Amino acid sequence: MSLPPISFEFFPPQTPEGAEKLTAARKRLAALKPEFFSCTFGAGGSTQDRTLDTIKLIHAEGHQAAPHLSCVGGTRENISALLKTYKEMGIKRIVALRGDMPSGMASIGEFHYANELVSFIRAQTGEHFHIEVAAYPEFHPQANSAREDMLNFKRKINAGANSAITQYFYNADAYFRFVDETRKLGVTAPIVPGIMPIVRYSQLARFSDTCGAEIPRWMRKTMEGYGDDVESVQAFGRDAVTQLCEKLIAGGAPALHFYTLNQANASIDILNRLGYRA
Ligand code: FAD
């Protein structure tokens, strides 16, 4: 089985200690030769400087760095300035998102949906950036229907996105079906599965409820049964996520994108089991 390219996602650390830990994690992950490292962007620009700092570090280390850019609460002027900075730094890839309105933020700003951001990036910078957008195999929680969500996804691709990274999921069939159905709608861009290793069950369960990702009942029940036994949760998680990745690779996934939560161990364990070596 040939192994597809991989990439890793981080969030911008909040403290100098967090930044140090992330540099150490990145060094270990870099040994697996990922295609790129990406860094998230707090909606409304709340992490703009920290995202930029993290991207500068990744870029300076000689890796391909992909900043996320979310448009909700943003202005054309502000986003244009950020695009200029990234372009001048030599950044070639951007993950373009709508984001979610932070509570307390009054105005949605000048962009309503990610397709508008993709069009804006293309209008401002031509073909300079490889643009990634988000895809939802189990559908976005605010979507009116599965079909509308897929049509909205297609709208982002038609606006000029090159490829997509999915929300995480633990049911491979949802991914394969999403790929098949969007192909029928005429989408040809690669759709890369987003992989969430399991480190802490309670945190994952909370997050999954808000972002609309399903943890299948058999997985929930098993992990709930382990209670505070973190080691058993992690051992189970490693097995389940490795098997998921095996199915995705066998089914032709074009790459794997790991949500690392700034930790290296879980992703490295899974990738080693799949046959990726430093
Ligand atoms: P959109 O594609 O705009 O879709 C949002 C909703 O609106 C969907 O329900 C869609 O069906 C609907 N819709 C889309 N276009 C239209 C239209 N033209 N008319 C009517 N309805 C429409 N969030 C962050 O804040 N920062 C990050 O760095 C970040 N990184 C992410 C990375 C990945 C790979 C993924 C999968 C998600 C990420 N998110 C991030 C979360 C994301 O911002 C949220 O899921 C957000 O709610 C939707 O963003 P989107 O870009 O998918 O939005």
Torsion angle (degrees, nearest 10) of CA 61, 62, 64, 70:
40
* Nearest Cα residue to 132 out of 257, 262, 275, 251: 257
In this structure, are residues 162 and 169 in contact, taking their beta carbons and an 8 Å threshold? no
pLDDT tens-digit readout, 163-203: 999 999 999 999 999 999 999 999 999 999 999 999 999 99
Distance of CA 88 to the CA centre of its chain: 24
Please tell me what DSSP assigns to residue 29: H
Beta-carbon count within 10 A of 156 CB: 27
What residue's CA is closest to ligand 1, atom 36? 167
Nearest alpha carbon to residue 195 among 222, 158, 218, 166: 166
Tokens of 234: 């992690």
278 residues of the chain, pLDDT tens digit each: 789 999 999 999 999 999 999 999 999 999 999 999 999 999 777 788 999 999 999 999 999 999 999 999 899 999 999 999 999 999 999 999 999 987 777 777 899 999 999 999 999 999 999 999 999 999 999 999 999 999 999 999 999 999 999 999 999 999 999 999 999 999 999 999 999 999 999 999 999 999 989 999 999 999 999 999 999 999 999 999 999 999 999 999 999 999 999 999 999 999 999 999 99
Closest C-alpha residue for ligand 1 atom 20: 152
Q: SS3 for 138? A: coil
Q: Which residue has the tokens 């070596």?
A: 277
Give the ligand 1 atom nearest the CA of 113: 3
Of 97, 195, 259, the residue with max ligand 1 atoms within 8 A of its CB, to mutate for a pocket test, comes to 97
Partners of 163 in the β-ladder: 132
Closest-CA residue to 48 (of 86, 19, 22): 86
Instruction: Tell me the β-bridge partners of 191.
Output: 164
Q: Return the residue whose CA atom lies nearest to atom 42 of ligand 1.
A: 99
Q: Which residue has the least CA distance to atom 22 on ligand 1?
A: 152
If one residue of 138, 152, 191, 257 were mutated to test the ligand 1 pocket, choosing by the most ligand atoms within 8 A of its CB, it would be 152
Closest CA to 40 of 24, 22, 54: 54
Ligand 1 binding site (Cβ under 6 Å of any ligand atom): 40-41, 43, 68, 70, 95, 97-100, 113-115, 134, 140, 142-143, 148-149, 152, 155-156, 165, 167, 194
Instruction: State the architecture of 6-272 in CATH terms.
Output: Alpha-Beta Barrel (3.20)
Nearest CA to ligand 1 atom 39: 99
Q: Residue 68: CB partners within 8 Å, gap ≥ 6?
A: 38, 39, 40, 41, 51, 94, 95, 96, 97
9 is catalytic: yes
Distance CA 45, CA 31 (A): 31
Given the residues 9, 20, 88, 116, the one annotated as active site: 9
CA of 151 to the centre of ligand 1 (A): 13
